[in-house]
Amino acid sequence: MRATKHYENFIGGGEGTEFEWDIFGAADTKNPEYQKELERVTKPNDFVFYRDALKLAKKFQPGDPGNPKRAFARDLRIEIIDLLGLTEEKDMDRIKFYTAIGTPLDKWHSIDGFFEIEQEHRPPIMITFDTTTLTAEQKQERGQKIKADILISDKELDISNEKTLPEKTTKLAKEIVNIFKEKQEQTNKKNVPEGKYSPPRRTV
């Protein structure tokens, strides 16, 4: 029998990789209330629509989205705050990180986590991630579509390398801020319906 790894105990087994678990952690899928809501929104073919999957992931976080449990997600949030020049606590609180590991958002929609940046008088803007052990080229060769804004591969991000991690984190934060500004600009245009704009996919 295959030994169960520590991260599989946390997310429910086999739905994520150790890399995903290490950088994002997992949603609270062991919560009985999560199981009830999952059953309610799951269709007969086991599918969960995007809107329901998103609500489920947001509701059952392992902690405070404004203070992520995983060090990498926490440091990434701080970098984003710095790059946006936010100094007031009320503005910093608008930057939230959510993990989707172990949820239908991960399983069916290839989104493992996302930042949500709240705007005044406008809907929040999401920047989504697909974490993987493959590169973008390898996924494309397999015919797998990249659905998230940014693909994070463990081939290019080594969180155990303390020398390169700060630079990689800053680079990723800059990419997130750039996408946020692109989405903000496009969705604030009068003739672009909310949610219709999708920027080019990035690879980190």
Under 8 Å between Cβ of 111 and 128: yes
Could you count the other beta carbons within 10 Å of the beta carbon of residue 151? Answer: 22
Task: Over range 86-104, report the average pLDDT.
Answer: 96
Q: Does residue 33 carry a pLDDT above 90? A: yes
Model confidence at 190, pLDDT cuts 50, 70, 90, reads low
Task: Over range 146-155, report the average pLDDT.
Answer: 92
CA gap 38, 91 in Å, rounded: 33
Contacting residues for 124 by C-beta, under 8 A, at least 6 apart: 116, 117, 118
- Considering the entire predicted model, what is its pTM? 0.83
Q: Does residue 62 carry a pLDDT above 50? A: yes
**Average pLDDT along the chain:** 85
Q: Does residue 5 carry a pLDDT above 60? A: no
CA gap 103, 195 in Å, rounded: 22
Q: Does residue 37 carry a pLDDT above 60? A: yes
Task: Over range 65-70, report the average pLDDT.
Answer: 95
